[in-house]
Amino acid sequence: MKYLDEYRDREIAGRLAERISALTVEEITLMEVCGGHTWAIQKSGIQSLLPENISLLSGPGCPVCVTSKKYIDQAVAYSRLEDVIITTYGDLIRVPGSTSSLAVELSTGGDIRMVYSILDALQVARENPSKKVIFLGVGFETTSPGSAAGIVNAAKEKLRNFFLFSAHKIMPPAMTALVDEGVKIDGYIAPGHVSVITGSHIYDEIPQKYGIACVITGFEPSDILQSIYMLTKQIKEKKFSVEIQYSRAVSPGGNRKAQEILKEVFTLRDDWWRGLGTLSNSGLTLNEKYSSYDAERMIPITFEETKEESACICGEILKGLKKPSECKLFGTVCTSTNPVGACMVSHEGACSAYFRFNN
Amino acid sequence: MENTILLGHGSGGKLTQKLINSLFVKYFDNAVLRQQTDSAILHVDKENIAFTTDSYVIDPIFFPGGNIGKLAVCGTVNDLAVSGAIPKYISAAFIIEEGFLLKDLETIVSSMAEEAKRAGVSVVTGDTKVVPRGLCDKLFINTAGIGFIEERYKGISTGTDVRAGDKIIVNGTIADHGIAIMAARNFGNFKTDVVSDCASLNRLTRDILDSNCRINFMRDATRGGIAGIFCELAEQKNLGIEIEESMVPVKESVRGMCELLGFDPFYIANEGKIILVVHEGDANKVLARLQQNEYGKNSAIIGELVDKHPGKAVLRTGIGGSRIIDMLADEQLPRIC
């Protein structure tokens, strides 16, 4: 099996689209929460295959988009320290802070290195013993076990110059918070790779308490179409549950080893989500045992007060309350070359995807 | 926030365009420059001369399929060739970092000579500068080129005869060069058999021009990939473009690398690929002719110009959906999760 070919087969996609259309329901809104799904949906033009009564809404699942501006301002401040090397995933580099971004700092001489994983960052630390190497840990459960493993390795090697600046968050607090805020969601296209780690039970509250359909979804066009079919069927039959469409990667129990390493290294804290505000017990911070690797505790720093752009409605877009086209700044001041908010910068942000694929 | 030059300004996407328009064209302004074609078309006495220049700063300087020198010749030859010109003369200016190995320089210069011979051009003038260690990254090369165009081909670079109904053709698999370079930079620790498609295409373009088919437009798809060409053409002609994703040739290994890294091959650099717009009556003939050439074996008709959605390039996706093709802001960055 070539994998890509099978899951992107036009005939299969066509048949799934037909089956979806055959399930007559009233107007329903399905939300995808994972940035990877936003991207995949836009890239394959899935909305154009769906009947008009099914709307897709993008939610707060792009980790870069929900990262606070303050975090960027602090990262920028760290990058200006002489003895610091910043190591980061690519997408974070362009996110605008209050007055600068890592891209701008890079262009004026900041030591900021794009890495593909925390293992690369550890290597930078080994090779630069006189520098403090800070890794910008962003992402949900997909990336946080990697960060945890990186910290465990650093501790084993007694690496003293390696630090994690964590913006890691967990699912599903944001999903329930949206519904509590009153956002109309009939079904969730639930995260795929987060669920590989966590398993499916973290979403049980969604159908049980809120009566919302929930299907854990893969990332190929056929996965997403099949998931939309399963969600629409749940809604039509009024039988709500957590189903796993992405069965080739997700098991109900998830990845136990990854879950253990998260427990070993992190503890939960209240965290600030762009667009949603503070959600209790939704963020990950290093626990006491590993506190000597926590950048926030070990490298105190002062920096300018964070300024929010008042017309930027990234928050409401993240909640699915507004579409990018309804933002005053969209396509005028805020464009892909000159992003104001995180939703436009991130490859997976709703505005970026909308701008590129529907402009 | 933007008062410094960012890497994105050199990526060939929107930021580059912004810089060109707001700075270079603004200050140097003239009718020829405003065309912003691959080569400037000049009328001198009774001749039409195509004139172009390009600088090469690629890293690594040696890569699977070539080196910075070969690239420097091919790139300039191709800019002339896609304008419909016969390339004749090239200049070669070198900026060399102190400490650069002479034997490496010789390998590079020898490649350039070999490629120039293959393309039938002469390197007739040049320059050499050496800068202290650390002030340039090993070697930078600039080449400029001159060629001659027949009157009947003058409209090719601006696409004066492009109409709805014309077919869009590419001469082979896309994104090979960019992926080969990424692998050579050991980006993400991947090993691949992909080789740069770096090649002089003037004999290929000559061949199809000589066939008397109606070639209405040509552009070479370098950094920024094929997507930029579709966006610009649709906008400039105020016509719609429709590209059929399943028809665009991409090597399996390139597709695989792109999937892993989260890149879109439409935006990855090529160095041996051109986009042609051909009158629909001649498309099959041009395709057949291209396929007979060593640099056109995997040519394919990938789309067409249409009356609908003027100014927009639309992709018919592999699953039968549709969405807009946009220009990238600047460099693609690998996916987070």
What DSSP string runs through A237-249?
Answer: HT---EEES-TTT
Q: What is the mean pLDDT of residues A38-51?
A: 90
Instruction: Label residue B65 by pLDDT band (50, 70, 90).
Output: very high
Count of other CB atoms within 10 angstroms of residue A302:
6
Identity of the residue in B1, B255, B324 whose CB atom sits nearest the CB atom of A359: B324
Query: What are the chain A neighbours of B317 within 8 Å (beta carbons)?
Result: 43-45, 221
Mutation site for A-interface testing, chosen from B182, B309, B319 by largest number of A Cβ within 10 Å = B319
Least confident of A94-108, A114-128, A199-213: A94-108
The answer to whether residue A340 scores a pLDDT higher than 70 is: yes
- Strand-pairing partners, residue B219, are B275
**Amino acid symbol at A192:** G
Instruction: Label residue A220 by pLDDT band (50, 70, 90).
Output: very high
Q: What is the mean pLDDT of residues B238-253?
A: 96
Q: Which of residues 326-355 of A touch B (CB under 8 A)?
A: 335-338, 347-348, 355
Q: What is the pLDDT of residue B190?
A: 72
Identity of the residue in A10, A103, A107 whose CB atom sits nearest the CB atom of B318: A10
Between B266 and A332, name the one with better pLDDT.
B266
Q: What is the pLDDT of residue B333?
A: 57
The answer to whether residue A240 scores a pLDDT higher than 90 is: yes
Q: What is the pLDDT of residue A5?
A: 83
Least confident of A155-159, B31-35, B199-203, B305-309: B31-35
Q: What is the pLDDT of residue A62?
A: 77
- Strand-pairing partners, residue B86, are B148
The chain B residues in contact with chain A (CB within 8 A) are: 1-2, 4-8, 14-15, 18, 187-189, 246, 255, 259, 262, 264, 315, 317-324, 326, 328-330, 333-337
Q: Which of residues 53-112 of A touch B (CB under 8 A)?
A: 63-64, 89-91, 93-94, 96, 99-101, 103-104, 106-108
CB A178 within 8 A of CB A59: yes
Tokens linked to B89: 């003369």
CB A214 within 8 A of CB A242: yes
Burial class from Cβ neighbours inside 10 Å (0-12, 13-18, 19+) for residue A192 reads buried
Mean pLDDT of chain B: 92
For B317, which residue in chain A has the nearest alpha carbon? A44
Are A104 and B337 inside 8 Å of each other by CB?
Answer: no
Give the integer Cα–Cα distance in Å for B97 and A273: 48
Give the long-range contacts of residues A319-327, CB within 8 A, separation 24 or more: A319/A59, A319/A60, A319/A178, A319/A181, A319/A183, A319/A275, A319/A276, A320/A29, A320/A31, A320/A57, A320/A58, A320/A59, A320/A178, A320/A183, A320/A185, A321/A183, A323/A354, A324/A350, A324/A351, A324/A354, A324/A355, A325/A354, A327/A351
Q: What is the mean pLDDT of residues B140-162?
A: 95
The answer to whether residue B336 scores a pLDDT higher than 60 is: no
Phi-psi region of A18 (alpha: psi -120 to 50; beta: other; left: phi over 0): alpha
Mean pLDDT of chain A: 90
Instruction: Tell me if residue B141 falls in helix, strand or coil.
Output: strand
Are B326 and A44 inside 8 Å of each other by CB?
Answer: no
Instruction: Label residue B2 by pLDDT band (50, 70, 90).
Output: low
pLDDT digits (tens, 9 = 90+) for A26-44: 999 999 988 889 888 988 9
Q: What is the mean pLDDT of residues B213-234?
A: 93
Query: What are the chain B neighbours of A107 within 8 Å (beta carbons)?
Result: 4-7
Are B259 and A139 inside 8 Å of each other by CB?
Answer: no
pLDDT digits (tens, 9 = 90+) for A96-121: 888 899 989 998 889 999 998 899 99
The answer to whether residue B88 scores a pLDDT higher than 60 is: yes
CA A347 to centroid of chain Cα atoms = 11
Are A48 and B334 inside 8 Å of each other by CB?
Answer: no
Phi-psi region of A356 (alpha: psi -120 to 50; beta: other; left: phi over 0): alpha
- Strand-pairing partners, residue B277, are B168, B217
Q: Confirm whether pTM is higher than 0.95.
A: no
Q: What is the pLDDT of residue A173?
A: 93
Would the ipTM clear 0.90, i.e. be above it? no
* DSSP type of residue B23: I
Phi, psi of A273 (to 5 degrees): -110, 130
Identity of the residue in B7, B187, B323 whose CB atom sits nearest the CB atom of A357: B323
Query: What are the chain A neighbours of B326 within 8 Å (beta carbons)?
Result: 336, 355-357, 359
Cis peptide before A300 (omega within 30 of 0): no
**Amino acid symbol at B257:** M
Q: What is the pLDDT of residue B188?
A: 59
Question: Residues near B51 by Cβ (< 8 Å), separated by ≥ 6?
Answer: B39, B40, B42, B144, B145, B146
pLDDT digits (tens, 9 = 90+) for A163-182: 999 999 998 999 998 888 88
**Cα radius of gyration rounded to whole Å, chain B:** 19
> Edge-to-edge, what's the strand order for the sheet holding B40-44?
B40-44, B47-56, B139-149, B86-97, B122-131
- Describe the crossing of helices A118-127 and A144-156 by its angle, rounded to 10 degrees: 30
pLDDT digits (tens, 9 = 90+) for A283-334: 999 999 999 999 999 999 999 888 776 667 877 776 767 778 888 778 777 8
Count of other CB atoms within 10 angstroms of residue A173:
20
Instruction: Label residue A267 by pLDDT band (50, 70, 90).
Output: very high
Cis peptide before A172 (omega within 30 of 0): yes
pLDDT digits (tens, 9 = 90+) for A341-352: 767 766 666 777
Between B10 and A161, name the one with better pLDDT.
A161
Identity of the residue in A10, A63, A140 whose CB atom sits nearest the CB atom of B319: A10
For A358, which residue in chain B has the nearest alpha carbon? B324
Instruction: Label residue A337 by pLDDT band (50, 70, 90).
Output: low
Q: What is the pLDDT of residue B329?
A: 59
Give the integer Cα–Cα distance in Å for A153 and A144: 14
A222 inside 8 A of chain B by CB: yes
